[in-house]
Chains A and B, each alone.
Chain A
Amino acid sequence: MRAASFGAAFVVLAFFALLVADVVMRGAAELSPTYLFSAAEEGGRAGGIGPVLVSTLLVVLLATLFALPVAAGGALLCSELLVHRQAWKSLVRRSFEILVSAPSVAIGLIGWSLFGQLFGLGFSILSGAATLAFMLAPLMALAFLAGLEAVPQALRAQSLALGVSRWRTLLNLVIPAARPALVAGVMLAVGRAMAETAVLVLTSGISTRMPQDVFDPGATLAVHVYHLAHNLPGGEPRAYAAALALLLVSALVQLGLARLRVQEQPA
């Protein structure tokens, strides 16, 4: 048992050491400031990933902005308005959970038919962000809800007993108390958005040209890795460079999340 379990752990950790070393070594050969900020040539086989970074920023930012108010509404609906209606509350929560665990490629296909074709947006940053927001909203709502529910009901009751309205209690007391969890929810969504490929290949496309506005297509970093490695013969070295950049960005997001968790604990 001891030998077998150590064997398994060793295989797993060694495999991941190999994976990280592979990406870092092959990626670092290409990764440089010029690579990060110059325009892509030949679909990414030469030149840099400047436009890809711009598209990534636009898609992630817009998707988070679209999803944020909706997610906040969803979480507050559960934690404040339906607080004593368990049946409704668990129904709403179930609706969030279904969407969070739904295969993202299915959401991508719906986004393609709905925004891409029906609304005529084609492959565009706007279509990608809107579709991605479908995925991020329930994810953030669940994270927000966990944070809001961790705020003790007694705190709310004390505020109400002092004659403060429920709305002001929420704004001045509950939301500040839940703040670390709310920020963590947003970061979780940003991390998910950075890593997402299936939704975006179907909606914001694989173009490496600099987007002029949100109606232009634009590949995000993760999509760019996929496209280089899979669709472009000779794109693999550049794919590794883009993958390294992607790993670094997602590591930053993870570090931020870990930081927030540490902050949360003493409270």
Chain B
Amino acid sequence: MDSAIARGPELVPAGSPARRQESRLGWLTVAVLGVACAAIAPALLVFLFAEGFVFLLGDGAATLLSSRWFPTEGVFGLVPLVVGSLLVSLGGLALALPLGLGTAISLCFYLRGGPLRFAEAALGVLGGVPSVVFGLFGTFWFVPRFGPSLASGALVLAAMLTPTLALLALAGLRQLPAGLLLDGARLGLSREQVIARLALRAARPALMGAAVLALARALGEALAVEMVCGNVAGLPSRLTDPVRTLTTTLVQEFEYAQGAHGHALHLVALTIVLLAALTSAAAMRLAARRRA
């Protein structure tokens, strides 16, 4: 039975020649469109690599490790941008992680019935709120208090990440075998001990995977952060200092970037893509370890 499926479309006996031609044309279309679809990602990556390579051949390449980003002077130091991206994203994650994890624990172990369903539905809806709405909210609520700054950026990202993080952590906790928790209870552990010593430890790969996935999303977010982070390229020394990230640089400069500056921006884009790809690859690895 299986080999009949494996034989492929062109070998299947069919009725009239018209039908056969229809089928051949159909599969050809599928193959062409499918290959086109699969080729998008490699094509875009090649484009970014090529642009980045052109920049590396030029004069600007020597300034890449500078701590200043001044395109008009031909200084393209990526350091402040990478540091800005990492600080804002890690800050957002540091806030979102305890909140998301705590929410997941209370939903998994303490809430029942109506309140549980309500909280879960609310998280689902909130996870779908467009990120620009968080940026707008941050403009009104965080910027007046903390200024356009690292802190405001991290808060906006935390708001954006928490619902999804909570739902992913919840899914991870629910995948634990029920017997594990029962065994813990039978051994005389209190509920608190079962959660802290058994559940959180056993679900660690899933929880780490959720956190890393959130980090990848934070690194890639552009406009919600740009609305509140101040966008001054430099190394911030306080939480209330403005920062500029890789993504916000693209948004601010793409329109007037010429020559080396334009190539530099593609290198910035490549850096974000690689950072995000590295973090999501780490997330996938963690998920795979759980399955094994």
Contacts and interface: CB of A to CB of B under 8 A. Distances in A.
A9 B35 CA distance: 45
Interface string B1-29: 11011101100111100011011001101
Interface stretch (A35-43, A178-186, A244-252): A244-252
Interface stretch (B62-70, B175-183, B221-229, B232-240): B221-229
Contacts of A108: 222, 250, 254
A173 interface: no
A163 interface: yes
Majority secondary structure, A binding face: helix
B149 interface: no
A197 interface: yes
Contacts of B22: 167
A90 B81 CA distance: 34
Majority secondary structure, B binding face: helix
Interface residues of B, number: 97
A198 B222 contact: yes
Nearest to B159: A15
A13 interface: yes
A110 B30 contact: no
A106 B262 contact: no
Q: How large is the interface on A (under 10, 10 to 19, 20 to 34, 35 or more residues)?
A: 35 or more
A82 B34 CA distance: 11
B185 interface: no
A6 interface: yes
A1 B12 contact: no
A115 to B, nearest CB: 12
Contact of B34 (A19, A74, A109): A74
A72 B219 CA distance: 30
A101 B276 contact: yes
A250 B129 contact: yes
A112 B125 contact: no
B31 A81 contact: yes
Interface string B22-60: 110011011111111111111011011001000000000
B273 interface: yes
Contacts of B48: 106, 110
A65 B222 CA distance: 26
Contacts of A77: 30-31, 33-35, 37-38
Nearest to A196: B130
A225 interface: yes
A19 B159 contact: yes
Given A73-B30, A230-B226, A222 B132 contact: yes
A254 interface: yes
B22 to A, nearest CB: 7
Nearest to B271: A106
A78 B269 CA distance: 29
Contact of B139 (A23, A98, A236, A250): A236
B19 A165 contact: yes
Contact of B44 (A83, A110, A141, A153): A110
B73 interface: no
Contacts of B195: 1
A160 B101 CA distance: 49
B30 A80 contact: yes
A70 interface: yes
A223 to B, nearest CB: 8
Nearest to A23: B133
A226 B38 contact: no
Nearest to A111: B44
Contacts of B152: none
B137 interface: yes
Interface in A112-153: 112-114, 134, 137-138, 141, 153
Contact of B37 (A73, A167, A191, A198): A73
B53 to A, nearest CB: 15
Contact of A81 (B20, B27, B223): B27
A92 interface: yes
B114 interface: no
Contact of A110 (B47, B100, B102): B47
Highest count of chain B CB atoms <10 Å: which of A4, A137, A165: A165
A127 to B, nearest CB: 13
A98 B41 CA distance: 7
B40 A138 contact: yes
A247 B288 CA distance: 35
Interface string B131-157: 111111101110000000000000000
Contact of A246 (B42, B103, B130): B130
Given A195-B128, A225-B132, A243-B133, 16 more contacts: A6-B110, A8-B102, A19-B126, A71-B37, A72-B33, A73-B32, A73-B35, A81-B9, A92-B38, A95-B42, A104-B220, A105-B223, A106-B272, A114-B47, A191-B128, A226-B135
7 contacts: A96-B41, A98-B41, A106-B250, A156-B5, A165-B14, A236-B136, A250-B129
